[in-house]
Amino acid sequence: MNSLMPTPPTEALSFLDPFGIGRAAFDYWRDAVERSVLYMDVMRERGNQYLEHIEKTKPNVLGFDAEVVMDGRALPRPVNYELMKILPPAGVEIDPRSRPFVVVDPRAGHGPGIGGFKPDSEIGVALRAGHPCYFIGFLPYPEPGQTVEDVVEAEIAFLRRVVELHPESCEKPMVVGNCQAGWQIMMAASLEPDAFGPILIAGAPLSYWAGERGRAPMRYTGGMTGGSWMTTLASDLGSGLFDGALLVQNFERLNPANTWWDKQYRLYANVDSEAERYLNFERWWGGHVVLGGEEIQYIVDNLFIGNRLSTAQLVTSDGRRIDLRNVRSPVVVFCSQGDDITPPPQALGWVRDLYDGIDDIIANEQTIVYCVHDSTGHLGIFVSSSVSRKEHAEFTANIDYIDVLPPGLYETSVTSAAERDDAELLERDYLLEFKPRSIEGLNRDVLHHREDDDTRFATVARISEINLGLYRLFWQPWIRAVMTSEASRLIRRLHPIRLGYKLLSDRNPLSVPLPVLADWVRQDRHPIDENNLFRTLEKTVSSQISHGLDTWREIRDQSIEQAFLTVYGQPLLQTMVGLGGDAHVHRRRPGSEPEHRRFIERRQDELRHRVAEGGSHEAVMRSVIHVLGGSPTTDERNFKRLRASRAELEPSSSLADFKHLVREQFFILKLHREEALDAIPALLKGESAEAIRDYLAHIDHVLAASGELSERSSKRYEHIRALFAQAIERADPAERRQALADLHDRVERGAKAEVAARDEVERLLAAPPARKSAAESKEHQPRRNGGKRTSRRSGKKD
């Protein structure tokens, strides 16, 4: 088609158009027409892909081959979930003794598979690390009568099946829950804590009232719709089924600039290179599923509006309380400041809701680790390749270290090796560090809590119950009487989101010419240069449209927030629903049950009697934990060397024994620090002076893994050296003299080195800065070899 267009001679164009504006306009017009044809053809392919996907019995977007291991429809309480084993791709070897990984996909309107969407995904990272991987997905339609409790029980059954399939692995499965799957696996872990290994919840909301004013507009949705009665109405219009497209529509409304313009313009502007990526994502984004009416009502009433999960107010139908404090596995919370669906306060607010302070977390023997990304969006948390290669890869590589961390609250940060002075000590391109945190610091840096907002959300919960009762009394019987299954299916088919896919597909007769026109364009494509004047103007106009939609979104969100705060902040309204008075507490922290308090007291008494029990292994571990407890950060290097040292000291011990030893010695130090340290010489009783000296060398080796010790840690280590010296004094006299001399020499060398380093620093500070030669500067830079990091010391690739 384009070859038939006559092209004027270049000389004539230069004479008639000396500034080239006319030529630039013609080139832009031709390119714009061609891009329009290709864009419409991509949309046609999107529609065909959508129709093909939804017509499958078990649609998913997994990028890996899988086989069904367990079908949830065969359980005593059937659910539309299934457990699949991921088959490793060619060239990937799996170690059957490694800890199994289980990824649970969110059921929030879209179909399953997002956790294994592409090679750089949560599943892909775990496979490359050699872990057996499993995937818990779901089918498009729920089983009749299926409830949230049934889904939770099914996930517990799936995990027990995974444990049975890997008897050679002594570690419990690591479970990854994305978005809505996060609160499901936390509920399951609180009911059956013994079935779970470490838990990673990515972008998962657990505390729904939490949030910062000016952000997180989704938390106001329940109040602006008058409660959950509209959820019941939508289920009644669906004949007992809730259309997941409604949830997707809510997500899209959060960012109108991306939904209505940016996403489509990005495809149009780069249609030659963007089509494949766009179609792959749309295959998941358009794979809408259906939820049971009873399921979504439970979720909206108890979680979104009632906020009962993070305050231990949920009770199962058989009388078991769902208390997240029962979780015994380490919990890793991954969230992002750029996430407007699950902002950090909603992902981390449950910690504040359940615990008074760090001592409370430790008393419950819980390890909570959180990582806050700076900018990635909600989907980027578990879809972005850059996030998978960095954060998820580090979580996977350090899962054993996370599993052995003493109870407490920790913040993690991922730093690049290129940004560190000790890059030659690192084994990978990134390092995951752990910093102890307090509840007060979490409130200050992340949660931004306001007590008066709790009263407003509690008012919404009461009004929701009233409106739901009125709807069920007056309107529900009439709607259920007139709705039929055929009418419900027609309503789902005519949903605007679904209709947009169907109208631009081969089933629309008007789209017949599109593939022919697109082939003509591809055969003689005329892309223009990015410097074209009119292409630049196009980008400018696009940017202005996007900024305009963002401005409208900000005005809309501010108006909604102000209306919510004004309406539900009225004292008269709060009093009318029974929430008046300043003394009323609306977010009650659940108290500790008497049984749990007695358990903690028995545990403390047991540890008190174990202070002086044990031997050299307990002494070494106690010493290392004490010294590292004085450091503001710790990382994987200490763990690896400590684990290697224990393997040398006690080759027959397992990783589980090692973890038990670490946790027990931590608790002993936490509860009885002075007595535990004073008992170290007694723990080394019977050991030779040479053996004690070797133990101290092991400790030196472990502590040197992360570079220089802090001043506080150095003082603690001096105390440990003195305790080991006391143990040496009790050894054989001849060995004792030699060991004490060696220990004295080591201390003297350390002191002299410290003095020399301090003198050198003072000299450098006093002297004028000397300019380095180019050769010297180059010599001190870390060398790179084919993209691999090269050690400064050996010159070999790490």
Task: Give the phi and the psi of residue 179 in degrees, each rounded to 5.
Answer: 55, -120
Which among 84, 69, 151, 76 is positioned nearest to 115, based on CA atoms? Answer: 84
pTM over 0.85, yes/no: no
Mean per-residue pLDDT, 272-287: 89
Render 137-171 in DSSP notation, one character per residue. Answer: EE-SSPPTT--HHHHHHHHHHHHHHHHHH-TT--S
What's the Cα-to-Cα distance from 92 to each of 87, 127, 132, 356, 783, rounded to whole Å?
10, 7, 11, 46, 30
According to the model, what pLDDT value does residue 701 have? 77
Sign of the C-alpha dihedral computed for residues 656, 657, 662 and 665 taken in this order: positive
**pLDDT over 70 (residue 674):** yes
* Alpha helices (runs of H) in 570-615, residue ranges in sequence order: 571-576, 594-609
Domains of the chain: 66-209+307-449 (3.40.50.1820), 594-764 (no CATH)
Q: What mean pLDDT is predicted for residues 187-215? A: 90
Q: What is the DSSP letter of 186?
A: H
H/E run at residue 321 = strand 321-322
Check residue 792 and give its pLDDT. 35
pLDDT attached to residue 767 = 46
CA dihedral over 55, 60, 65, 69, signed as positive or negative = negative
Separation of alpha carbons 6 and 26, rounded Å: 12
Chain mean position to CA 136: 17
Residue 465 Cα to chain centre, angstroms: 33
95 and 169 in contact (C-beta within 8 Å)?
A: no
CA distance 731 to 692: 9
**Alpha-carbon Rg of the chain, whole angstroms?**
31
> Is the model's pLDDT at 619 over the cut of 70?
yes
- Establish how many alpha carbons lie within 13 A of residue 396's alpha carbon, considering only the half-sphere containing its beta carbon: 27
At 632 the pLDDT is 57
Q: Identify the three-state secondary structure at position 264.
A: helix
CB-neighbour burial class of residue 542 (10 A; exposed 0-12, middle 13-18, buried 19+): middle
With 0-12 CB in 10 A as exposed, 13-18 as middle and 19+ as buried, what is 301?
A: buried
Residue 365's SS3 state is: coil
> What gap in Å lies between CA 773 and CA 407, rounded to an integer?
50
**What local confidence, expressed as pLDDT, does residue 780 receive?**
41
Q: Which of the two residues, 659 and 764, has the higher pLDDT score? A: 659
What secondary structure, in 3-state letters, does 474-519 show? HCHHHHHHHCCHHHHHHHHHCCHHHHHHHHCCCCCHHHCHHHHHHH
pLDDT at position 589 over 80: no
Least confident of 246-255, 605-614, 651-660: 651-660
Q: Is pLDDT of 772 > 50?
A: no
Q: DSSP letter at 449?
A: -
In the block, tokens 């902002």 appear at 343
Residue 385 bridge partners (DSSP): none
Kindly tell me if the per-residue pLDDT of 329 is higher than 60. Answer: yes
Asked if residue 682 lies in contact with residue 612, where contact means CB atoms within 8 angstroms, the answer is: yes
Task: Report the alpha-carbon distance of residue 559 to residue 573 in Å, rounded.
Answer: 20
Measure Cα distances from 439 to 12, 308, 361, 411, 448 in Å: 75, 20, 10, 11, 12
Closest CA to 680 of 650, 715, 724: 724
- DSSP-assigned beta bridge partners for residue 606: none
Of 389 and 503, the one with more pLDDT? 503
User: Following CA atoms 485, 486, 489, 494 in sequence, which dihedral angle do they give, to the nearest 10 degrees?
Assistant: -140
Q: What is the rounded CA–CA span in Å between residue 100 and residue 245?
A: 33
Q: Indicate whether 765 pLDDT > 50.
A: no
Alpha-carbon distance of 348 to 445, in angstroms, equals 11
Where is pLDDT greater, at 570 or 363? 570
For residue 59, pLDDT beyond 70: yes
Strand partners, 339: none
pLDDT band for position 633 (cuts 50, 70, 90): low
Compute the mean pLDDT over every residue in the chain, rounded to the nearest whole number: 82
Distance CA 493, CA 550 (A): 30
Band of the pLDDT at 748, cuts 50, 70, 90? low
Q: What residue has token string 């407007």?
A: 340
pLDDT grade for 331, boundaries at 50, 70 and 90: very high
CA angle 115, 194, 130 (to 5 degrees): 40
**How would residue 645 be classed by pLDDT, with cut points 50, 70 and 90?**
low
- Measured in degrees and rounded to the nearest 5, phi and psi for residue 297 equal -65, -40
Among 179-188, 195-204, 663-672, 726-735, name the one with the lowest average pLDDT: 726-735
> What confidence category does residue 40 fall into, taking pLDDT thresholds of 50, 70 and 90?
very high
If one compares 262 and 662, the residue with the highest pLDDT of the two is 262
Calpha distance 39→32 (Å, rounded):
10
> To 10 degrees, what angle do helices 711-729 and 733-766 make?
160
Average pLDDT over residues 15-38: 83
| 607 in Cβ contact with 688 (< 8 Å) | no
| Cα 107 to Cα 178, 181, 281, 699, distances in angstroms | 9, 7, 17, 48
